[in-house]
Amino acid sequence: MERYQYLRALITQLLDESPLTSEEVIADVRHLMNVGEEELAFDTMCSWIYEDELSISSNYYERLVSAAQELGTPKSVEKLDELIET
């Protein structure tokens, strides 16, 4: 149970600090977490950041990479390095 709570807190923090603005997307990610689909929630969040070409900081990117490793979903962050603001 501790790991589950840790992962939810990790994704929630990243979501709260994400550049996502679509309330529908944010609600979808939260819904996925509420039904125990943390990996899918994280992947959805990352997919929308990439799809919408939202700029991210290098620090935020590194945190996403770290979270992807924690979740075992390294493909979630593929290509997000293209969005790092310079």
- 9-59 tens-digit pLDDT: 999 999 999 999 999 999 999 999 999 999 999 999 999 999 999 999 999
pLDDT interval class at 86 (50, 70, 90): confident
Can you give the pTM of this predicted structure?
Answer: 0.94
CB neighbour list of residue 41: distance below 8 Å, 6 or more residues apart: 11, 29, 30, 32, 33
Judged against a pLDDT cut of 70, whether residue 1 lies above it is answered with no
In the numeric block, which tokens belong to residue 65?
């990479």
Domain boundaries, the chain: 1-83
Query: Which helix or strand (DSSP H or E) is residue 60 part of?
Result: helix 58-71
Report the pLDDT averaged over residues 69-78. 96
User: Strand, coil or helix: what is 85?
Assistant: coil
